[in-house]
Chains A and B, each alone.
Chain A
Amino acid sequence: MKLNKLALAAMIGLSASGYSQAVEVELSITNLTHANYMTPRLAIAHDASVDAFEVGTEASTALAWLAEAGVIDDAQNADSSGQNFEAALGPVDTDNGSNTWHRFGGLLAPSSTLTYSFDTMDKPYFSLLTMLIPSNDAFAGLDSIMIPSEPGTYTYYLNAYDAGTELNDELNSTRTDITEEGGLPLGGYGVPGVAGAGAPNIAPSMGTGGTGVAVTVGFDENGDPLASPTEVVDGTDGPVHIHRNTLGDTSLTDGSSDLDSTVHRWLNPVARVTIVVPAS
């Protein structure tokens, strides 16, 4: 009898510690903004050696790709190969030692929620990043939270950060009347202009004709005229910091911004993430 009881106690002890982190957690994200879409989500379970972003430090090239163009891996954009998070972290959906990650695809519309299952593969920390569009280089981030081990529902509110890799000119990337200094078209990674392409049109949509917010068309960052009055400089405003929000304006054809001040602004938090750890 005594032996039986001891054996039972030992078994209970084992099962109590058995639900550590080796579980598929249920991951939900809600877009809390008024009118900003969110690009495919990068979910990373990782150890202390991985830091997808850190306020006060310069953004990595991988973070710049995510924050300026919404790009995480080669499949989304071949030009990003070798520079994106896939290059930084390793192959998708495998145990890369220090991490495992997944791209949860599709745009997340304002006020909508998406839920996924994510295998954390025993990693202790979790990070999540997604770009806010339309914006120059704004992203919502969850920075290295400890993955809970007790079964339950855990809620986190995410702030919007500025990757600091691009000046917030708030210029529509589809415009052809202006170009980057040197003649390259606007938009995407490493060039001025907000990434808004791909987002469904919501009324009222983005304008054109803006003269630039954080930097003005035809002038450099110091206000000195450029060689061409239709070019925009590509500057930076890093390191990574809490985003100061977009300015926008109320004109679709002129004013300083191609964003709408009555539509495209936000205040923190911009997203809600819940993690459900199931009972073992």
Chain B
Amino acid sequence: MLKYLIPLIIFIVMGVFLAIGLKLNPTEIPSPFIGKPAPAFSAAKLDNPEQKLSPEDLKGKVWLFNVWASWCVSCRAEHPVLNQLAQQHAALIIGLNYKDARDDALNWLNKLGNPYDMSVSDQEGRIGIDWGVYGVPETFVVDKKGIIRHKHTGPVTPETVQQTLLPLIAKLQAE
């Protein structure tokens, strides 16, 4: 009996591990930033490069930091969801226009609508590196004290908005 039981147990254990391995998403890398202060920057605003924006200016507000680019295909899929989220005025939505040409970016917003309260440009991708950005789009949630509370990698879907972002924003607004 034991002779057959041992291989069976080994098989089941391996099966469970492999099944978990299959379900894991290797592109989702846990951000070491959760619970840490948002990295500082002072970046030119997209619509008016003379003016700068830094996370310091946003203290006391809950804001989303959405990394986007006009060349990014998934951003296009995400865009209507952000437009809808913007209409709810749950939190400020700040865009980081990542490694993009300014004209392309402005055209994109004109054509598809502008969900951002403000977008800043990061043409060389330096702010991106500072924020640990590795795949556009990415969305961070920053609380009133300037602490990063959540990061979503990949396009934001209506489900993520309903199940994760809105409840979290409500909680942070109440803090």
A binds B: no
